[in-house]
Amino acid sequence: DAKTTQPTSMDCAEGRAANLPCNHSTISGNEYVYWYRQIHSQGPQYIIHGLKNNETNEMASLIITEDRKSSTLILPHATLRDTAVYYCIVRVVGTGKLIFGQGTTLQVKP
C-alpha cells in the first residue's frame, strides 16, 4: 500500500504562506492525493485533492511534483484559524482504502 510521510509540526507567521509537505514515494500512477485538516477533535474537513496537475481552490493550492512522489499544500495567507492538524491521504488504487499520514500540526502565530 502507498504510504505518506509528513513532518510532525510546523510554525507559520500570520499572513504568510504556509507550505506543508507530504512524501508519498510509493504512490501509484492513478492514485489521488487528498488533503484534510482537523481542528481540535472535530471531524476532519476536506481541503483539496489532485492527481497530476497542480490544483487551486478557495482554501488552498496543491503542488504535486512531476514524479508524483511528493506534494505540498499551500495556504497562501495563513490566519490564526488555520491552526490545525493537516493530513495528507492517498487512496489505494481500485479500493476505498485510505492511507493517512501522521498529520502535521500547523501552528499559526501572530
Partner 1 sequence: EAQVTQNPRYLITVTGKKLTVTCSQNMNHEYMSWYRQDPGLGLRQIYYSMNVEVTDKGDVPEGYKVSRKEKRNFPLILESPSPNQTSLYFCASSLLGTGVLETQYFGPGTRLLVL
Position 36 contacts partner 1 (CB under 8 A): yes
Position 34 contacts partner 1 (CB under 8 A): yes
Q: Give me the least distance between CB of 41 and partner 1, in Å please.
A: 6
Position 42 contacts partner 1 (CB under 8 A): yes
Give buried/exposed letters for 56-75 (b at 16+ CB in 10 A, else e): eeeebbbbbeeebebbbbbb
Position 2 contacts partner 1 (CB under 8 A): no
Identify residues 67-86 at the interface with partner 1 (CB under 8 A): 85
- The candidate with the shortest Cα–Cα distance to 75, out of 17, 9, 21, 36, is 17
